[in-house]
Amino acid sequence: MKVLVCNVGSTSLKFKLFDMPGDVVLAEGKVERVGRTDAIFHYGNRGTGYTVQLEDQSILSYAEGIRRYLDCLTDPENGVIAHVSEIERVGFKTVLAKGFYGIHELTPEVLQAMEDYLIVAPAHNGPYLEAIRQIQQVLPGVKLVGVFETAFHTTIPKARRIYGIPYEWYEEYGIQRMGYHGASHGYIADVLTERNGGTGNAISCHLGGSGSLCAIQNGISVDNSFGFSLQTGLIHANRIGDTDAYIIPYLLAQGKSVDEITKGMDKQGGLLGISGVSNDLRDVQIAAEGGNERARLAIDAYCAGIIHYVGAYYAELGGLDHLVFTGGIGENSSLVREKVCSAVAHFGIVLDEQKNAQRSTQARIISAEHSKVKVWVIPANEELGIARRTYEYQ
Ligand code: ADP
């Protein structure tokens, strides 16, 4: 079965066409700066990498982006399929829909449920709704499946999901800890299972533009650091992470508007907010090395959040077999890995300094031979996770 996986950003669209089962990537594509006349379009077929890269293209909508990609897929020279009708399913890394937390066909009811939580996940649900509706028109009749980022976390026990709020807020509005990054943490559970025959007790640290930790026990999620919205848990690139709810009424009383407060929480917080330098950890690291105190503070606060959750999950799991780093920061920042692992060395974690410093795009163990806990770096592959779930969907 040919499964197209579609990852939608606020101004980007990424595709991978899989041949399932077998996990074979036939072709991939990416459109950056959707909505502009200077968009960048990439396309690559199996084995050749990005064979087509066109800059300064006018790609004004998601529909135009996908049409361009479908043209490449069926192109006699670079294409991999004869006709778009060979695509049987499209899988989306959708984020949140009220009452639909698993894997669902994207029916009008499910799209309405995404609309209902637009205010909770504005940066994600808005672009996804727009892209899904446009793709429905470009690929009529194809089954569209939403692998919601909450899906892997539906196994988290209710006692860990419930907030200490009036119970009717939970019943009426669905307010609870959701857990996100399910495609990434689910993929990590798959890799550990493939390599070790099971996950045992594992903590997966997805550290990218946004970050979360997931406690995994025997293959299933039993906790995740995200709460109701994606503004929670760890400090993110420019989103705030866990904070005190009473900051909001206090700031309102100081004369800040709701818009100013939401902008502060969504765009001006996180690594950017603390450091005042950048939302990209690479820039923050360079500034810290140059003696910038706020940049140092941002890195320490970022790592403190990770250490906090590793400790909490160690207690919840009753021990630890695997600690996994994934995502742009998890895969690339030996500094963050070192700071975290040295802080929790008393859990039986011994990092191999040389292995930690090495760069590789392969899944690898970076702990010392005698480390009780195995520490891994596993490159994120959310698309493969989505392709598998979309293919299996009944
Ligand atoms: P997203 O969550 O947006 O998909 P990624 O998982 O690709 O993003 O992570 C992006 C982040 O990874 C960047 O913002 C940057 O902070 C971080 N990053 C990438 N390479 C490095 C590196 N060599 N050192 C430190 N951080 C890095």
Per DSSP (E only), the strands in the chain are 2-8, 12-19, 24-32, 36-45, 49-59, 87-92, 103-105, 143-147, 201-207, 211-217, 220-224, 322-326, 364-365, 374-377
The gap from C-alpha 310 to its chain's centroid, in whole angstroms, comes to 19
Residue recorded with tokens 């006699």:
76
Q: How far apart are the first and last CA of the chain?
A: 14
CA of 318 to the centre of ligand 1 (A): 31
Ligand 1 pocket mutation, candidates 277, 329, 334, 338, criterion most atoms within 8 A of CB: 329
The helix, strand and coil proportions of the chain, stated in percent and rounded to the nearest 5, come to: 40, 25, 35
Q: Which atom of ligand 1 is nearest to the CA of 380?
A: 6
333 Cβ closer than 6 Å to some ligand 1 atom: yes
Nearest alpha-carbon partner for 266 in 114, 120, 96: 120
Per-residue b/e over 23-59, b at no fewer than 16 CB within 10 Å? Answer: eebbbbbbbbbbeeeebbbbbbbeeeeeebeeeebeb
The predicted-structure confidence for 48-75, as pLDDT tens digits, reads as follows 766 778 888 889 888 899 899 999 999 9
Protein residue closest via CA to atom 13 of ligand 1: 280
CA of 360 to the centre of ligand 1 (A): 15
- Mean pLDDT for the stretch of residues 302-312: 98
209 Cβ closer than 6 Å to some ligand 1 atom: yes
357 Cβ closer than 6 Å to some ligand 1 atom: no
The predicted-structure confidence for 130-153, as pLDDT tens digits, reads as follows 999 988 988 999 999 999 999 999
- Binned at pLDDT 50, 70 and 90, residue 85 comes out as very high
12 Cβ closer than 6 Å to some ligand 1 atom: no
CA of 19 to the centre of ligand 1 (A): 29
Per-residue b/e over 86-119, b at no fewer than 16 CB within 10 Å? Answer: ebebbbbbbbbbbebbbbbebeeebbebbebbee
- What phi and psi, each to the nearest 5 degrees, are found at residue 10? -65, -30
pTM for this entry = 0.93
Measured distance CA(383)–CA(146) in Å, rounded: 12
Element (H, E) at 258: helix 258-266
Please say if the pLDDT value at position 166 is more than 90: yes
CA of 168 to the centre of ligand 1 (A): 39
- Mean pLDDT for the stretch of residues 296-313: 98
Measured distance CA(60)–CA(131) in Å, rounded: 12
Q: Which burial class, exposed, middle or buried, applies to 286 when counting CB atoms under 10 A from its CB (0-12, 13-18, 19+)?
A: middle
The rounded percent of the chain whose pLDDT value lies above 70 is: 99
- What phi and psi, each to the nearest 5 degrees, are found at residue 6? -125, 125
**What pLDDT shows up at residue 159?**
98
CA of 330 to the centre of ligand 1 (A): 8
DSSP for residue 345? G
Grouping H, G, I as helix, E, B as strand and the rest as coil, residue 106 is coil
326 Cβ closer than 6 Å to some ligand 1 atom: no
CA of 331 to the centre of ligand 1 (A): 8
Contacts of 384 (CB under 8 A, 6+ apart): 18, 23, 187
Q: How many residues does the chain have?
A: 394
284 Cβ closer than 6 Å to some ligand 1 atom: no
CB 211 within 8 A of CB 234: yes
- Binned at pLDDT 50, 70 and 90, residue 295 comes out as very high
- Mean pLDDT for the stretch of residues 335-352: 97
Contacts of 216 (CB under 8 A, 6+ apart): 185, 188, 189, 192, 199, 201, 202, 203, 204, 222
- Mean pLDDT for the stretch of residues 349-374: 96
- Mean pLDDT for the stretch of residues 153-167: 98
57 Cβ closer than 6 Å to some ligand 1 atom: no
- Mean pLDDT for the stretch of residues 166-185: 97
332 Cβ closer than 6 Å to some ligand 1 atom: yes
329 Cβ closer than 6 Å to some ligand 1 atom: yes
Measured distance CA(235)–CA(10) in Å, rounded: 21
The gap from C-alpha 281 to its chain's centroid, in whole angstroms, comes to 17
CA of 198 to the centre of ligand 1 (A): 28
10 Cβ closer than 6 Å to some ligand 1 atom: no
Average pLDDT, the chain: 95
CB 22 within 8 A of CB 35: no
Residue recorded with tokens 């799991």:
317
The predicted-structure confidence for 8-57, as pLDDT tens digits, reads as follows 887 788 999 999 999 999 999 999 888 889 999 999 987 676 677 888 88
Nearest-Å Rg of the Cα atoms of the chain is 21
- Mean pLDDT for the stretch of residues 229-255: 96
Measured distance CA(159)–CA(25) in Å, rounded: 40
